[in-house]
Structure 1
């Protein structure tokens, strides 16, 4: 499972999105990595260790369009998207947005307060996959 640019699959079925320090235009690589991931046909859990709040609108739009176009395959294989946000106010904001996105894209979205909480949820979800 080598060759991914933005995803770390070293603990597959956990897939970690390396989102820190992304520059505008990264969505092309994200789409290529996501296409490869779905082609494997194996269920996974996607972890966003940090929020990418400075994301360029063009990248956000490209990812959203890809998710809409690939909703069926993505929903079938992605068991959940889990993010980590320790700040309670920001976490509440992301949880509200996550609820809307979960409905739009058909995948469970969870915002954890800590790495410990996130990894506990990941472990539970992965045990359901295995």
Structure 2
């Protein structure tokens, strides 16, 4: 995989794949989908780490719909490649809400999904999902 082909995800620390949802332009889901296709099409397991949002972020309805449909169509393949998803949410109240929502999503998409308070905690958990992968 060529890191230059990735605009939505940061694969510089692969097998940790980072998503920075802040600042994604409307219509980004087309590129998001192409990048996920590349990630699930390669043999190595990976973990998604989603950065915390600073402030309010409203995702366009069409982007959210496209991502959801892709996840439903590809959930089995995604589950074979993606060992887990970890999102960062420093706000305790928001984190509790997200943890409740994530329980249903994890079952639907067959990928463990956890919400943590810090980037450091996210990285530790991501590496644990990978089976203790070396910090490298």
TM-score normalized by the length of structure 1: 0.92
Matched with 1:21 is: 23
Q: What SS class does the counterpart of residue 10 from structure 1 fall into?
A: coil
Whether the 8 Å CA contact 2:8–2:24 is kept in 1: the answer is no
Residue 68 in 1 paired to residue 72 in 2?
yes
Aligned residue in 1 for 2:95:
91
For 1:117 and 1:39, locate their aligned partners in 2 and report how far apart those are by CA, in whole Å: 28
Say which SS state the counterpart of residue 25 (structure 2) adopts: coil
When the two chains are superposed, the root-mean-square deviation of aligned CA atoms in Å is 1.6
1:14–1:126 contact (8 Å) kept in structure 2:
no
Q: Do the aligned partners of 2:88 and 2:118 also contact (CA within 8 Å) in 1?
A: yes
How many residues are matched? Answer: 130
What is the aligned partner in structure 1 of residue 43 from structure 2?
Answer: 41
* TM-aligned CA distance change 1:49 to 1:56, over 3 Å: same
8 Å CA contact 1:8, 1:15 repeated in 2: yes
1:115 maps to which residue?
119
Structure 1: runs of 5+ lacking an equivalent: none
Structure 1 residue 53: Cα displacement: 4.0
Q: Is residue 44–residue 79 contact of structure 1 (8 Å, CA) maintained in 2? A: yes
- Distance in 1 (CA, whole Å) between partners of 2:112 and 2:40 is 17
Q: C-alpha offsets along residues 85-110 of structure 1, whole Å, 9 cap, x if unaligned?
A: 01011001111111111011111000
Structure 2: runs of 5 or more not aligned: none
SS at match of 1:111: strand
